[in-house]
């Protein structure tokens, strides 16, 4: 080995010791590359992000070249950088990003699963996978036993049923409880603002919208100043650490994404991802996904069957938890059994109404038909 290389090694060792004494963190400092596709806030914004990252004790480098994404991938694959932050990266189907925001209610961090990309071409299957992706990101960021809630959006109840089944099969999911009086796994707007769960599950389009609201609600919308960006791409077998920010992301968010990436590397995110996918698959994740994709396709003849409405009764009891697209079919299932029922919309979502006397029997019928859990 040449004297020059020996001196470089000694210099790097002293730098690592100095960093460890300053930050309390020992070992090689992760290197995060930033491939900017052009900030809406100009070059000054990028330079400011690099300065903030340096002040946080992070090791960040600018990636330069004609094809930034290609260069970024080469640097990741060669080990020249350990993680990367970029914009508008085309993840493959099956990979989506888990964002991290700071909720305004109590200043609590919350992971939005997911925010860009497509976990699955089927909406409900995608949301189920998003829950796993969120757990991976949160654990890899240092949250040992993160809580999981499902945003009250289209598909929430079907996602809830699938995740409860996964949990029954042995996959450890720590479900959150809504702060609202009626509780439950399905989260309300209040829970979003207060950060009730550590992980809020939703589809990526809704997640993308939520990221923009949480990161720029104090600036008028054109400058994302809060949080840690749209997060890492997560998917089974995906082993590149690529974090996403937007062209509207301000310097604090870009630096926050670099900090997020550094934490993931220090907690060995690849190992955590492999372990979580192994546990989820052992609990039948793939079977549940396959069932979801074939479920709901009820027999065409049964769907077209004319069902006569029973004599009308006063309806004072209700059963929630039914997907809005299944609401009328659920009512007809009760009619077919001779129970008068009506559909409605409660404050937590769709409901089926029936008499007090028929509630227990109605619940058994709807559960047997797969409309409620």
HEC string of 23-45 equals: HCCCCCCCEEEEECCCCCCHHHH
Same domain for 174 and 270? yes
CB 323 within 8 A of CB 351: no
Q: Which two tokens stand for residue 178?
A: 């809504």
Residue at which a domain ends, from 244, 273, 293: 293
Q: How far apart are CA 336 and CA 304, in angstroms?
A: 13
Same domain for 284 and 323? no
CB 259 within 8 A of CB 100: no
Q: How far apart are CA 334 and CA 363, in angstroms?
A: 9
The pLDDT value given to residue 346: 61
48 phi and psi angles, rounded to 5 deg: -65, -40
**What digits encode the pLDDT tens for the residues 231-240?**
999 999 999 9
Higher pLDDT, 92 or 143: 143
Provide, rounded to the nearest whole percent, the portion of the chain with pLDDT above 90: 74
Same domain for 241 and 286? yes
* pLDDT of 86 strictly over 80: yes
Instruction: Please identify every residue annotated as catalytic.
Output: 347
Same domain for 314 and 348? yes
**DSSP secondary structure code for residue 195 in this structure:** T
Q: How far apart are CA 321 and CA 51, in angstroms?
A: 49
The pLDDT value given to residue 246: 95
**DSSP secondary structure code for residue 151 in this structure:** E
Torsion on CA atoms 127, 131, 194, 229, rounded to nearest 10: -90
Q: With bands split at pLDDT 50, 70 and 90, how would you rate the model's confidence at 15?
A: low
Sign for the pseudo-dihedral over CA of 286, 289, 294, 298: positive
Cis amide bond preceding 114, omega within 30: yes
Work out how many domains the chain is built from and give that number: 2
The pLDDT value given to residue 1: 61
Same domain for 145 and 266? yes
Sign for the pseudo-dihedral over CA of 134, 135, 141, 145: positive
Higher pLDDT, 39 or 136: 136
Q: Compute the mean pLDDT over every residue in the chain, rounded to the nearest whole number.
A: 90
Q: What is the mean pLDDT of residues 52-80?
A: 95
Q: How far apart are CA 119 and CA 137, in angstroms?
A: 14
The pLDDT value given to residue 79: 97
- The verdict on residue 32 lying in a domain is no
Q: How far apart are CA 111 and CA 195, in angstroms?
A: 9
CB 126 within 8 A of CB 252: no
SS3 357: helix
Residue at which a domain ends, from 228, 259, 293: 293
* pLDDT of 327 strictly over 60: yes
- The verdict on residue 15 lying in a domain is no
- The verdict on residue 288 lying in a domain is yes
Same domain for 246 and 323? no
Same domain for 258 and 325? no
Same domain for 270 and 312? no
For residue 230, give the nearest of 256, 202, 193 by alpha carbon.
Answer: 256
Helical H segments across the chain, by residue range:
3-23, 42-55, 68-78, 123-140, 156-168, 189-194, 204-216, 251-266, 269-282, 285-294, 300-304, 327-336, 359-368
Q: What is the mean pLDDT of residues 89-97?
A: 91
**What digits encode the pLDDT tens for the residues 251-305?**
999 999 999 999 999 999 999 999 999 999 999 999 999 999 887 544 434 445 6
Q: How far apart are CA 233 and CA 242, in angstroms?
A: 6
**What is the pTM for the complete model shown?**
0.81
- The verdict on residue 78 lying in a domain is no
Provide, rounded to the nearest whole percent, the portion of the chain with pLDDT above 70: 89
- The verdict on residue 20 lying in a domain is no
Cis amide bond preceding 99, omega within 30: no
Residue at which a domain ends, from 274, 293, 312: 293
CB 204 within 8 A of CB 96: yes
For residue 174, give the nearest of 192, 194, 201 by alpha carbon.
Answer: 201
The pLDDT value given to residue 68: 94
- The verdict on residue 373 lying in a domain is no
CATH of the domain at 304: 3.30.70
Same domain for 275 and 152? yes
Across-strand partners of 48? none
Same domain for 225 and 263? yes
Same domain for 160 and 211? yes
- The verdict on residue 181 lying in a domain is yes
- The CA angle 98-105-128, to the nearest 5 degrees, is 30
Contacts of 297 (CB under 8 A, 6+ apart): none
- The verdict on residue 67 lying in a domain is no
* pLDDT of 22 strictly over 80: no
Same domain for 105 and 207? yes
Sign for the pseudo-dihedral over CA of 232, 237, 238, 240: positive
Q: What is the mean pLDDT of residues 72-87?
A: 97
Q: Which helix (H) or strand (E) holds 116?
A: strand 109-118
Domain that holds residue 323: 299-368
SS3 343: strand
Of 24-33, 86-95, 97-106, 343-352, the one with minimum mean pLDDT is 343-352
Residue 123: Cβ-neighbour burial (10 angstroms; 0-12, 13-18, 19+): middle
The pLDDT value given to residue 263: 98
* pLDDT of 61 strictly over 80: yes
**What digits encode the pLDDT tens for the residues 196-248?**
999 999 999 999 999 999 999 999 999 999 999 999 999 999 999 999 999 99
The pLDDT value given to residue 300: 38
Q: How far apart are CA 187 and CA 349, in angstroms?
A: 11
């Amino acid at each position: 080995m040449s004297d020059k290389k020996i001196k470089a090694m000694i210099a790097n060792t002293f730098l690592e010791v100095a960093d460890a004494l300053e930050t309390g963190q020992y070992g090689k400092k992760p290197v995060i590359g930033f491939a900017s596709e052009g900030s809406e806030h100009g070059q000054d914004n990028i330079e400011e992000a690099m300065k903030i990252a340096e002040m946080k004790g992070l090791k960040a480098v600018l990636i330069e070249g004609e094809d930034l994404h290609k260069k970024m991938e080469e640097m990741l694959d060669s080990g020249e950088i350990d993680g990367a932050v970029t914009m508008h990266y085309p993840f493959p189907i099956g990979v989506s990003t888990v964002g991290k925001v700071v909720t305004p209610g109590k200043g609590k961090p919350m992971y939005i699963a997911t925010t860009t990309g497509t976990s699955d071409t089927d909406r409900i299957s995608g949301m189920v996978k998003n829950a796993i992706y969120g757990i991976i990101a949160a654990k890899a960021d240092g949250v040992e036993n993160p809580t999981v809630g499902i945003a009250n959006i289209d598909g929430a109840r079907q996602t809830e049923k699938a995740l409860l089944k996964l949990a029954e099969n042995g996959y450890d999911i720590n479900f959150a409880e809504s702060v609202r009086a009626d509780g439950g796994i399905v989260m309300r707007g209040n829970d979003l603002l207060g950060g009730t769960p550590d992980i809020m599950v939703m589809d990526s389009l809704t997640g993308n919208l939520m990221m923009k609201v949480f990161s720029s609600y104090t600036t008028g919308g054109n400058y994302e100043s809060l949080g840690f960006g749209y997060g890492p791409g997560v998917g089974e077998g995906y082993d590149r650490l690529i974090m996403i920010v937007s062209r509207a992301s301000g310097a604090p968010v870009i630096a926050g994404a670099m900090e997020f990436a550094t934490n993931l590397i220090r907690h060995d995110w690849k190992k955590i991802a492999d372990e979580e996918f192994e546990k989820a698959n052992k609990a039948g994740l793939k079977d549940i996904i396959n069932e979801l994709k074939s479920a709901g396709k009820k027999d065409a003849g049964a769907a077209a069957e004319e069902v006569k409405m029973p004599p009308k009764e006063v309806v004072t009891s209700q059963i929630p938890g039914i997907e809005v697209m299944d609401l009328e079919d659920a009512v007809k299932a009760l009619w077919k059994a001779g129970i008068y029922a009506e559909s409605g919309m409660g404050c937590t979502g769709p409901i089926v109404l029936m008499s007090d006397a028929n509630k227990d029997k109605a619940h058994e019928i709807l559960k047997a038909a797969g409309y409620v859990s």
